[in-house]
Structure 1
C-alpha cells in the first residue's frame, strides 16, 4: 500500500494544500523550516487513515465540523481508493461528491492494522528511536524482548514485566510476611484456633439450664399477677371518668323535654333571616341612588351643542392641519428661491464672458457644453505632457551618469592583478576537513583513556580478594568457567535447600503433634475418652485380683506382701468387685464413644508417626551438614591455582564477571592507546601537507597546531577566492553597464516618438474649443474646468426655477382648499390669515369630537341607570317573598315573632348536639360496651369506694415492680448466656465464623488476581519466545548486515550469546572478535542497533504481507554526516520494497540526499511554498 497524494483541504493552518507523491518514486523527502507545518502534515497521515481524535489541536483556523483531509491509497495490485476524511463520530469517510463510504473499503487496504499498530511499527521519530534504544538497554539485550520490541515498536516491555513482577510480589511471596495473601493466610490460621476456643463444656450445661427455667417460671408468675391488678385498675379508672358524664347526660335529656314542641326550621335560620332583611334594605337604597343620578345625567346631556357641518368635514380639516407646516415653509421659501435664481443667472453669464465674450446669451449655453470623452481626453493629454518631458530629461541624465561609471569600472578592472591558482591548496583543505576535528578527537580520546585507566584502577580496588594492580590482574589465569561455577552453585543451593526443607519438615511435624494433642484435648473437653491401653491396664489389674482369689480358694496360701499391696487393707472381694465394675464401665464407655475412641486412637498413632519422622529428619540433617562441609573443601580446592580464598559461588560468579569486565576494559584501553598514536601520526602528516601548500602564498610558523594551520589555509583560500570573485564581478558589472547604455539610447528614441504622437492628439482634442495649440496644458485644464462650472451653474439655475414655480402652485392650491371648506360650514373667518384659520378649525373639530364622545357616554349611562332601578325593584320583591315563607314555617306573622321561635329552635339544637357528644365520649371510654351496658355497669358501683380500691391496687403494683425488675435483670444475663450457648456458639463464635467467611472470599479474590498476573506474565513471555523462534534467524541476519553499515564497520556482526542467567542475549562483535554486550555500547550505537532491528523487521513484514508506508520524522538529528548518509542509503534501498516518507527541517539532510541519489531515485517536497515542489 502507498499514498498517491494528500490534500489538506481544511486542517491546521493549511487550506486546500496538496502534497503529491510521485508514483515513479518510492522515497519522498519532505522538507520544511520550523513552523512550516511539518508536524501538522505528519498528524494528517494518521488522521486520514484512522480518523480524527475526539480532541484535536488542528481546529484553530477551521472549526471541528469543517476539518477535511483528502487523499488516495493504492495497493500492490494497482487498485486505488480516493476519499475524504472528516471529523465526526460516524460516517467520517466520504467521496469527493459528499457521499458516505463504507469504512471496510479502507480496512481492505490496511489489512487490519490499527492506529496504535501503525504508529508503533511503521512510524519512527528521534524520540521513539531513543526510547527503543533505552528499552534494549533495560532488557540487557534479551534476544526475545529486543526482536519483539523492535518489530512491534513497543518500547516498554521491560517496564511491563517489572510491573507484573511487582504486582505479583505485592500479593504473595514464598516465606514472606508483608504481602496481602501471606498476611491473610496467617490471620486465617489464627482465626481457626480462636473458633475452637468458643465451644461449650457439657458439665456446665445442667446448672445453666436449671437457673434459666427457674427464673423464667418466677417471672411468668409475677407477670400474671400484674395483668390481673392492671385490669382491675383500668376498670375502676373507667368508672371514675364515666360517672360524671352519665349524670350530665341525664340532666341534658330533662332540659330537652322541658322545651316542648318546637317548629322544624332550617339549621341556619338566623343567618337566613338576617341575610334577607339586609338584602331588602340594600335594594331600597340602591333604587333611590340610581333615580337621583338619572336626573343629573339627563340634564348634562341636554347642555351639549356641536356646530353644524363641522364633523362632516373632519377628514379635510385633519388633512389641512397635517399640511399646515408644509404650507408655512413654502410661504417662507418662495422669496428666498427667487433671490437664489437671480444669483445663479448672473454667475452663468459671468462664466460665459470669461470663456467667450462674444456669445454671452443664455440661449447659446449648449455651445459651452463639451462632450465627456472630449473633456477626459484633454485632461489625459494634459497629464501625459509633463510626464513625457520629465522622462526625456531623466533618461538623458541617467545615460550621462552611466557612461561616467563605465569609464571608472574599466580603469579598475585593467589595474586588478590576476590571482594565483589554489587548486592544490583546496584539495589539502578538503582532505583535512573530511578528517574532522581530529585534534579535539585526540584530546578527548586521551581524556577518555585516562579516565578508563582511572576506572580500571578503581574497579581493581573494589574487586574483592585482590590487592595488586590491574596489569598484574590481567596476567593471572582464571581457569574456572561459568559452567563450573554454575555446577557448584547448583550443588550448594541443592544442599541448602535440602537443609531448609528438613528444617521445614521438622517444624511441620512438631506443629502436627501439637495439633493432634489439641484435637485429643478437644475430644475430651465434654467427657473423658478412654484409650485401649487404659482398658487393658484396668483389665490386667482385675485379672490379678482374680488370680489372688482363685489361688486362695485352690491352695489356701498367698504371697502376703503382694496381696496387701493389691488390697491396700481392704477386703479382696470389694476390691475385685470395684475392678470388675471399672473395667465394664470403661468397656461400655468405649462402646458408646466408639467413634471418638477411634479418633483418639488415630491421633495417638499420628503423634507416634510424627515423632518417628522427627528422628529420621534429625539423622538426615546431620548427613546434609557433613555433605555441606565436603562441598566447601572441594570448592576451596578449585581455586587453589589462583591463590584466592573463594567466597560463595554466587559471589564468585559476580567476581568472575567483574574480572572479565576489567580484562575487556584493559584490552579496550590498549586498543585506544594504539588509536591515539595513529591519530598523532595522521595530525603530523596533515600539518606537513598544509605547510607545504601555504609556503608559496604566505610565511608559515612550523609550531602552529593543525587547527591553526587549517584556519590560515582557509583564510588564504577565502582571500584568493574573493579576489577571483571581485575580478569576475567587475567584468559582469562592465557588461551590465554597456547593456544599460544601449537600453537608454533605445528608450530616448521611443520618448521622442511618443512626444510627436502627443502633439497630433492634442490638436485633435482642442478642436472646437477656445483652447489653441499654443495654450499651456495648465491653462487648458483651467479652461476645461470653467466649461464644466458654466454648464453646472446653468443646470442649477434651471433646477431653482422649477422648484420656485412648484412652491407657488402648492401655496395657491392649499389656500383654495381652505376657502372651499369655509363655504361648506356655518363658520366665518373674514380677514384672518389662512394658517390661523386652519389652526382654529382644527381646535373646534377636536372639541366637537370630545362632545360627541361625551354625549354617547351619557346616553349609555342613562340606560345603565334605568336597568339598575328595575333590578333593585326585583330584589326587593324577592327578599319580601323569602321572609314570608320563613314566617309561615315558624307559624308566626311578624319578624319579631320569628326571632322568638328562632331562639327556641337554636336551644333545642344545642341540647341535642351536647347529648350526642356525651354519648360518643361514653362509648369511647367504655371499653367496647354499648351505652346501655355502660349505664347498667355504672349503677352497680359505689362512687365513694372507687378511690380507696384504686389506691390499694397501685400499692400492690408498686411493691411487685422492683421485685420483677430485679428478677428480669438477673434472668436476662442467664438468658443471654443460655440462648447463645444452646446453639453451640456464642456471639464471639458467630462473629469469628463470619470473619472467616469474609476472609475466605478475600483470599479467593486475591488468589484469582495473583493467578491472572502470573498467567499474563507467562503468556507475554511465551509470546515473545514464540516470535523469537519464528523470526530470529532472518531478522537477526539482516539486522547484523545493517548494524555493521550503520556503525561504519565499528562492529562486524551481531551474535546471540548467553548471560550469567543462561538467557539468550544480543551482542555486538568487533573486528578483533571482541564481544560487546548492550550495556557496554554507547547511546548512539544502541540507537543504531534498534534502528537495524526495526528496518529488518519492516523488510520481513513487507516480504510476507502488503507493504505499509514507513513514516520517518527527523531520526538523524544526533547522527553525523557520514552515518546520516549511510542511513539514508539504507532507507533508499528499503524504498524499493515499500514507500518511505521522510520528514525533516534540516537543510543539510537535503544536501546529503542530493549528493547520495539522483533525481530519478527520490522526490523532494518543500512545505514552505503554496504548492508542493517536485524535483
Structure 2
C-alpha cells in the first residue's frame, strides 16, 4: 500500500500531528522525493520508527512512551490499496488484533472493525519487519558498511548484486564462515587431525586395536579366582563370630544399666505407699490459694476507695450554681455574637461609601462640563454603540491602524524597487564570455592525468618491487629462465591429492602391518612363556597325547588280533614291523595301561590341559598370521616402489622437479605466484606506456584548446598549461556568474514589484471600505465629519469613562442602603433577646452582646462540671458494687480449696499442699524410671529381675570385659581377612581384561556416535555453501545485465558524469564490478574513494529496488541521514538521483540538517520534491 498521509495521534513526542504526502485520493501526487526535516529533539527518530510500526505493529517494549502511556499509543495512516481505493488504518499498542479501520478519527477503536487479512498483506507486502528494514530502509551506518563490504569483497559481482538486492550483509563472510565450520567438522586431507570427524575416526581405529588385544584372557585367572573365594569365605565367617560377640556384649551392658533402675523403683514404690492417705490436689492448688487471698485483699481496698470517692462527688455537686435562662437561649446569643463583627464592619463601610459617593458626584460634574451641556451628554450616552456594533467599530479602527503604516511601507518599497531598476538599466552590461566546451573537456582530462603524477611514481616503485620479487621467486624455484617456468605443465590439485592419498594409503598399510607384526611377536613370546610355565613340572597329558596313546594301543590290538586270532603272520614279524622291545601281548598291555593312565591324568588336570592346548593353538595361529604379514609387507613395498616410479615418470613428462606431492604442491603454488607477479609486471608496463601517451595527447589537446579561445600556450609542461587553462576558466566562470546574478536580481525585482502592486491595491480598497464604515458613527458620537479614527476612539473612551462613573455611583448607593438595613436589624434582635431574658433594653447593643457571650461561656463551663461530677459519682458507685462482688467470689474460692484438702480453716492448707506436691513428684519420678527401664531393655521387668537373680555388678562387669577382649581380637582377624580378600580381588581384577575391553568398546561406540552426530551438520554446511554459491551464480546471471545498466545510470547521476557506466570484468576467476571513468579508465572498487564507494552501493540498492518494484507495489524507500557526510555538490547530485528513482514511487529522506533543504530546492524540480517540517504540520483534531 502507498502511504498518502501519516497521522501521529499519540506516539513519541507527537500529539495529533499530521504529515501529508499527497492530496489526491488515488495517491498519484504522493509519489516523488519527500524530504522530512526536524531539528534535534523534534522527534525525527520517533517519526522514522512510526513508519515501520504502523505497518508491522508497535513493539512490546517501545521507546516511544515517554509522553503518552503505553495503552494510549496510536498511529494512523491513509493508504491507497491495490484497487486504488483510499483505506484509513489505525495501529494501537497492545496484543492480539491491533490494526483497525475506523470510519473517522472520532470512531472508538473498540467499535471499529479489524483490518482484513488482504489489507494486512498489502500493508506489509508479505514481508517481516526485519526483511522490510533490510530491503526498503537505509541509514548512514548501513550505507557506509555497504561501501566497506564492496571494498573487502574487491568488487566480487555476485556478492555485490545479491547484497544490494536483498539488503543483506557480508555474503562473502558467510561463505567463508560456512567453509570454515565445515572444515572444523571434516577435512578430506588425509593428514588433517584437528577436525571432529577426522579425530573421531582416528580414535575409532586406535580403540578397535585395543579392543582386539584385550580379548585374550590369561591362564592364571582360575587359581586367583579360587584364592579370592577362599578369602571371602574366611572373612564372612569371622564377621559372623564378631557380630555374635558384639550382641552378647550389648546384652551385658543392658543388664549393667537396668540394675540400679530396679533398686530405684523399689524405693519409690515404698514411699508412694506411705503417702496414700494424702488427697490428690491439683498441681496449681497453692497458686490458686495465694491468688484468691491476694484478690480478696485488693477487693477490700477497692471498696474503701470507692466509698470515699462517692462522698467527695456528692459534696462538689451541692456547691454548683448555674444560670439556666442563658443556656435556654444559647443559640440566639451565639447567633448575635457571630453577627457582631459583621455589624461593626458595616458601620465602618457606611462612612466609607458616603465619602465615595461624594467623590463620584464631583467627578461626574467635571466630566459633564468637559463634554458640554447635560442634555447633550444624555444624548451621547443614549447613542453609545451596542456590544455587536462596538465589536465591528473596534475591528474597523484596528484595521485602519494596521493598514495605514503597512500601506505607507509598501509604497516606499515600490518606489525603492523602481529606483533600483532604473539604476540597473543605466549600468553598462558586462560583455558575455563564451566558454569553450573543448577547453573544459581538455582541461578535465588534463587534470585527471595531472592527478596521476603521484600514481605514476608509485607505479614505478611497484615495477621495481615486482622485478625483485620475480627474481627472488626464480631463485626459490631453482630456475633461471622465466620462459622455461611458463612452459612447465603443472599437475592438478586432484592429481596431487590422488598420488599423495595412494602413497599414504600404502604407507599406512605398511606401518599397520609392522605394528601388527610387533604385537604378534610380543604375543608369541608371552604364549611361549605361558606354555613353558604350564609344562615346567614334566610331561603333561593333553588331548593330543591322549589321542596318540590310544591310536598306538588300537594299532597293537589290531595286529594282535591278526596274529593270534586270525592267524595272519607271526609274532616275530609283528615285533619287527612295529619295532617293539617286548613281545606283542606285553607291548599291547603296556600301551593299554599307558592310554588309561593318560586318560586318568587328563581328567584330573583337565583345566591345565585345556590351557596348554589353547596356548599351542594360539602359537600356531600367530605363526601363520606372522607369515601372512611378511608376505603382505613385501607386496606393499613393491606397490610403494611402483607408485614412486610412476610418479617420477609423470614428473619427467610434465617437466616438473622430483618432489613429493606435498612439496610439489607448494612448488606449483610458488610458480603460480611467480606467474601472477609476471602478469602484474606486464600490466604495469602497459599502463605506464598508455599513461605516457595519454599525457602527450592531453598536452596537445590543451594547447589547441587554448589557441582556439585566443590564449597563447605557455610552453609544453602539462602543469603549466593546466594552471593557464584553469585561470582562463575561472575568469569565464566569474563573468558568467555576474551576468547570471544580475539576471536573477532583475527577476526578483520584477516579482517583488508585481507583488507590491497587488498588495497596495488590496490595502487601498480595504482602507476605503473601513473608512466609510467608521464615518457613519461621527454624527452619533458628536464628532465632525472630518474626524480621524483616533478622535473616534478617544470619544468612545470618554463616553465609556462617564458611563462607568454613573454605574459606580448607583452601585455605591445600593450598597449603602444594604449596610443600613443590616445595622437596624441587629439592634432589633438584641432588644428582643433582652426582653426574653427578663432584662431591661440595653443602651449599647454591641457591649450587651459581648457581656451575654461571656456569661453564656461561664454557665456552660459550670454545667459541664456538674455533668462530669455526676459521671464520676456513678463510676464510684459501680466500683463499690464490683468490689463487694469480688469479695464474695474469692471467699467462695477459698472455701472450695479447704473442702478439696479436707481441712476446716484455710491456715491448714499450706501443709496439705506441700505433702500432696511430694506425692505428685514421687509418682512422676516413678513413671520416669519405668520409661528409662523400657528404653534400656526390650525385656519386661519380671524377665530382667529373673536374669539378675544371683548376679551382682562385679560379675557382670567381668563378663563384659571378656566379651570386649574377644571382640577386639576378632576385629583384628577380620581386618587381616579383609586385606587378604582385597589383595586377591585386586590380583584377579588385574588379570581380568574384560573391563579394558569394555572400555575400549565404549570408546569405539562413542567415536562412532561422534562421527554420526557430526556428519549431518557437515553435510548441511556443505550443502548450504553450495546452495548459496549457486544462488549467487544464478542471481548474477539473471540480474547482472539489467541491474548493472540501471546502477550505471544512477551512479552517473550521483557523480555528475565522472563515472559513465559500470562493467562486469570476467577476466579473473570470479567476475568483479568495475566503473568506467570519463577519461576512459576502468577502475576497481579498491581504487575508489570512500564517498564514491558509498554512492556505488546506493546506486546498486536503487537499481535492485527498481527491478523488484513490481513485486512490492507502494512500498516506500526510507532513508535516514544518508547525506550527513556528503558536501553540498555531492548531496545535490544524490538528491537528483533519488528524485528520478521516486518518479514511480516514494522516497522518504529523514534528516536534521537544515541546509539540505536549500540544496534540495536548488537541485530537484519543484514538482518532484516535497519538504515536510516536523513540528509545523499539526492538525487540530
TM-score by length of 1: 0.74
| Partner residue in 2 for 1:154 | 168
The 1:385–1:918 alpha-carbon spacing in structure 2 relative to 1, beyond 3 Å, is: closer
**SS, match of residue 837 in structure 2:** coil
CA contact (8 A) 2:774 2:789 kept: no
| Cα deviation code 1:617-655 (max 9, x no counterpart) | 11122222223332333233899xxxxx99933433333
Whether contact under 8 Å (2:200, 2:1010) holds in the other structure is no
> For 2:966 and 2:910, how far apart are their aligned partners in 1?
65
Equivalent in 685, 698, 701 of residue 682 of structure 1: 701
Report how far residue 319 of structure 1 moved.
Answer: 0.9
After TM superposition, list the pairs within 5 Å mapping 1:2-17 onto structure 2.
Answer: 3=2, 5-9=4-8, 15-17=17-19
What is aligned with 2:824? 812
Q: Which residue of 966, 969, 984 corresponds with 1:963?
A: 969
What's the counterpart of residue 568 of structure 1?
none
Are the counterparts in 1 of residues 1135 and 1164 from structure 2 also a CA contact under 8 Å? no
Q: 1:513-592 maps to which residues of 2 (within 5 A)?
A: 513-514=517-518
The residue that corresponds to 1:653 in the other structure is: 672
Do the aligned partners of 2:19 and 2:1172 also contact (CA within 8 Å) in 1? no
Asked if structure 1 preserves the Cα contact closer than 8 Å seen for 2:56 and 2:129, the reply is yes
> Contact conserved, 2:496 with 2:665, CA < 8 A, in 1?
no
Q: The residue matched to 1:612 in structure 2 has which SS?
A: helix
Cα-to-partner distance string for 1:1049-1071 (whole Å, 9 max, x where unaligned): 98896476773xxxx75687999
Q: Is the 8 A contact 1:172 1:180 kept in 2?
A: yes
Please give the per-residue CA displacement for 1:106-148, whole angstroms capped at 9, x wherever unaligned: 3267664444444545667787677667667766777865665
Cα pair 2:186 2:195 within 8 Å, conserved: yes
1:829–1:458 distance in 2 versus 1, CA, 3 Å: same
Partner of 1:855: 866
Aligned counterpart in structure 2 of residue 512 of structure 1, from 502, 509, 516 = 516
Contact between 1:83 and 1:95, CA under 8 Å: does it hold in 2? yes
Q: Aligned-pair distance for 1:162?
A: 1.6
Q: Which moved more, 1:491-500 or 1:755-764?
A: 755-764
Write out aligned runs for 1:486-497 (5 A): 486=491, 491-497=495-501
In 2, the alpha carbon distance for the partners of 1:293 and 1:40 equals 83
Instruction: State the alpha-carbon separation in 1 of the partners of residues 1164 and 176 from structure 2.
Output: 42
More displaced stretch, 971-980 vs 777-786: 777-786
Q: Does 1:167 align with 2:175?
A: no
- Please tell me whether residue 834 in structure 1 is matched to residue 845 in structure 2: yes
- Assess if the C-alpha contact under 8 Å between 1:3 and 1:21 holds in 2: no
What is the distance in 2 between the residues matched to 1:754 and 1:1123? Answer: 52
- The CA deviation at 1:18 is 1.6
Given candidates 432, 443, 452, the residue that maps to 2:439 is: 432
1:821 aligns with 2:828: no
Q: Is the 8 A contact 1:1054 1:1066 kept in 2?
A: yes
Shift of 1:252: 0.8
8 Å contact kept, 1:233–1:953: no
In the other structure, the counterpart of 1:642 is: none
Match of 1:94 in 2: 100
Tell me which residue corresponds to 1:619. 638
- Distance (Å, rounded) in 2 between the aligned partners of 1:457 and 1:575: 106
Q: Unaligned 5+ residue runs, structure 1?
A: 564-571, 640-644, 696-700
Equivalent position of 2:568 in the other structure:
none
Query: In the TM superposition, what are the counterparts of 1:117-136 in structure 2 within 5 Å?
Result: 117-121=131-135
Change (3 A) 1:520 1:304: farther
Q: 1:599 to 1:1166 in 2, by over 3 A?
A: farther
8 A contact 2:1043–2:1100 mirrored in 1: yes
Q: 1:437 to 1:474 in 2, by over 3 A?
A: farther
Give 2:586's aligned residue.
none
Q: CA deviation at 1:681?
A: 2.2
Of the three residues 687, 691, 715, the one matched with 2:731 is 715
Query: Which residue does the alignment assign to 1:1011?
Result: 1016
Q: Which residue of 2 aligns with 1:18?
A: 20
Tell me, what secondary structure is at the counterpart of 1:176? coil
* Residue-by-residue CA offset, 1:1019-1069 (whole Å, 9 max, x unaligned): 34135426745x66543454576688778998896476773xxxx756879
SS of residue in 2 equivalent to 1:72: strand
In the superposition, relative to structure 1, how do residues 520 and 112 fare at CA in structure 2: closer, same or farther (>3 Å)?
farther
SS of the residue corresponding to residue 765 of structure 1 reads coil
1:68 alignment partner in structure 2:
75
Quick check: 2:91–2:98 contact (8 Å CA) kept in 1?
yes
5+ long unaligned stretches in structure 2: 104-108, 536-540, 560-570, 582-589, 659-663, 1151-1155
Report what 2:327 is aligned to.
311
Conserved? CA contact 1:32–1:38, under 8 Å: no
Mean alpha-carbon deviation: is it higher for 198-207 or for 455-464? 198-207
Aligned twin of 1:766: 782
Cα gap change, 1:368/1:398 in structure 2, threshold over 3 Å: closer, same or farther? closer
Q: Secondary structure at the match of 2:320?
A: coil
Q: Displacement, 1:1015? A: 1.8
Q: Deviations over 1:699-739 (max 9, x none)?
A: xx999634434433542564487479769979998999999
1:929 positional shift: 1.5
Q: Is 1:388–1:751's contact at 8 Å kept on the other side of the alignment?
A: no
Quick one: distance in 1 between partners of 2:632 and 2:600?
37
What pairs up with 1:212-227 in 2 under 5 angstroms? Answer: 212-227=232-247
1:844 aligns with 2:855: yes
Call closer, same or farther: CA 1:364–1:840 in 2, change over 3 Å: farther
CA distance in 1, matches of 2:1109, 2:419: 70
Contact 2:158 2:1032 in 1 (8 A): yes
Deviations 1:74-102 (A, max 9, x none): 44x76776534445444232214343213
Cα distance in 1 for residues equivalent to 2:769 and 2:619: 143
Correspondence 1:873-952 to 2 at 5 A? 873-880=884-891, 893-896=904-907, 909=920, 912-925=923-936, 927-930=938-941, 932-934=942-944, 940-941=949-950, 945-947=952-954, 949-952=955-958
Greater Cα shift, 888-897 or 454-463: 888-897
In 2 relative to 1, CA 849–666 (structure 1 residues): closer, same or farther, beyond 3 Å?
same
Q: 1:952 to 1:1010 in 2, by over 3 A?
A: same
Q: State the secondary structure of the residue aligned to 1:20.
A: coil
Q: Deviations over 1:494-534 (max 9, x none)?
A: 43332222211112222334555677789899988999xx9
Deviations 1:913-966 (CA, angstroms, capped at 9, x unpaired): 555555555555454323x5555555x245xx523x245345435544553444
Cα offset, 1:235, TM superposition: 1.5
- The one-character-per-residue Cα deviations of 1:193-221 (angstroms, maximum 9, x if unpaired) are 88978988514444444444435434543
CA displacement 1:25-54 (0-9 Å, x = unmatched): 799541538758998877665444434455
In structure 2, relative to structure 1, the CA distance for the partners of 1:135 and 1:343 (3 Å cut) is closer
TM-score (norm 2): 0.74
CA positional deviation for 1:582: 13
Q: For residues 26 and 619 of structure 1, what CA distance do their matches in structure 2 show?
A: 87
Displacement of 1:459 in angstroms is 1.5
**Hey, what's the Cα distance between the residues in 2 that align with 1:235 and 1:106?**
94
Give the counterpart of 1:105 among 116, 119, 124: 119
Aligned match of 2:981 in 956, 969, 975?
A: 975
Tell me the equivalent position of 1:1021.
Answer: 1026
Q: Which deviates the most, 1007-1016 or 8-17?
A: 8-17
Q: CA deviation at 1:840?
A: 2.5
SS at structure 1 position matched to 2:97: coil
Q: Which moved more, 1:728-737 or 1:801-810?
A: 728-737
Q: 1:989–1:267: structure 2 CA closer, same or farther, 3 Å change rule?
A: same
Checking the alignment, whether the CA contact within 8 Å between 2:337 and 2:850 is kept in structure 1 is yes
Alignment of 1:48-67 (within 5 A): 48-54=54-60, 65-67=72-74
Partner of 2:1039: 1035
Q: Which of 405, 430, 454 in structure 2 is aligned with 1:447?
A: 454
Quick one: structure 1 residues 774 and 859, their matched pair in 2 at CA, closer, same or farther if it must change by over 3 Å?
Answer: same
Q: 1:729 to 1:1032 in 2, by over 3 A?
A: closer
Q: 1:402 to 1:557 in 2, by over 3 A?
A: closer
Question: 2:661 — aligned with what?
Answer: none
Query: How far apart, in 2, do the equivalents of 1:741 and 1:689 lie?
Result: 50
| 1:30 matched to 2:33 | yes
